[in-house]
């Protein structure tokens, strides 16, 4: 009698393990995946075209931060844009001016991962520095100060750990300006519109 009950208990235990083991393994994999998502770090570089009023140029950017869960990312960003304009002012004089505008900022990104593409929106707040001023008969002296930026973009992951994408952004090139002749954007409100390709690595 006892031997029969023992066999029944052994059979029931084996059946229970056969059913529970796959579920436990799947649960462990899900927990591990969640841990990876919660501790994922990302570095992203971008390069592309920029324009602000009569100025045109190119820009470089670097974002580094942490992906928190699946839908948010926060970190530090540097966005540097080289701008140049050659034009005729209101008096008929030819002017040639160039400068570099660099934003150092903390950023927050909201993203929506899908199977193939991850679209996102971003807000950055920090400080803009103006440097590398050059040109002849400079019509305006642009200055830096507290500043911010907004951007939208999307990225795709062709291989694990690497993502490529496209990013569009808006920010002020400077926060103030002193101009000899009043002109559009003479108060410093030159809005930089940028379009860039991005490459990111995450781990």
Statement to judge: residues 105 and 169 lie in one domain: yes
Where in the sequence is the domain holding 175, given as residue range(s)?
A: 40-202
- The answer for residues whose C-beta is within 8 angstroms of residue 187's C-beta and 6 or more apart is 176, 177
Whether residue 103 is found in the same domain as residue 29:
no
pTM of the model: 0.76
Dist. CA 79–CA 58, nearest whole Å: 11
Q: What is the count of structural domains for the chain?
A: 2
Q: 116-158, pLDDT tens digit by residue? A: 999 999 999 999 999 999 987 677 888 999 999 999 999 999 9
Lowest mean pLDDT among 17-26, 60-69, 94-103: 17-26
Query: Are both 27 and 75 inside the same structural domain?
Result: no
CA dist 63 and 174 (Å) reads 21
Q: Do both 3 and 72 map to the same domain?
A: no
Question: Do 126 and 79 belong to one domain?
Answer: yes
CA angle 74, 78, 81 (to 5 degrees): 140
Whether the pLDDT of residue 33 is over 50: the answer is no
- Indicate if 32 and 45 belong to the same structural domain: no
pLDDT in tens, 162-176: 999 999 999 999 888
Q: Are residues 51 and 138 in the same domain?
A: yes
CA distances from 86 to 32, 96, 106, 192, 201 (A): 57, 4, 33, 17, 38
């Amino acid at each position: 009698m006892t031997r029969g009950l023992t066999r029944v208990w052994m059979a029931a235990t084996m059946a229970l393990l056969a059913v529970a083991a796959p579920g436990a393994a799947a649960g462990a994999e899900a927990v591990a995946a969640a841990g990876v998502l919660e501790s994922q770090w990302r570095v992203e570089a971008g390069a592309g075209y920029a324009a602000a009023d009569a100025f045109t140029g190119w820009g470089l950017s670097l974002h580094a931060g942490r992906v928190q869960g699946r839908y948010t990312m926060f970190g530090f960003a540097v966005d540097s844009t080289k701008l140049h304009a050659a034009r005729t002012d209101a008096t008929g004089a030819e002017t040639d001016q160039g400068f570099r505008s660099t934003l150092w900022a903390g950023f927050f990104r909201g993203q929506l991962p899908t199977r193939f593409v991850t679209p996102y929106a971003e807000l950055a707040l920090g400080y803009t520095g103006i440097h590398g001023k050059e040109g002849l008969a400079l019509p305006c002296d642009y200055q830096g100060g507290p500043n911010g930026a907004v951007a939208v973009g999307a990225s795709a992951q062709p291989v694990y750990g690497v993502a490529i994408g496209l990013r569009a952004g808006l920010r002020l090139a400077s926060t103030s300006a002193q101009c000899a002749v009043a002109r559009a954007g003479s108060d410093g409100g030159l809005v930089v519109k940028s379009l860039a390709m991005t490459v990111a690595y995450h781990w």
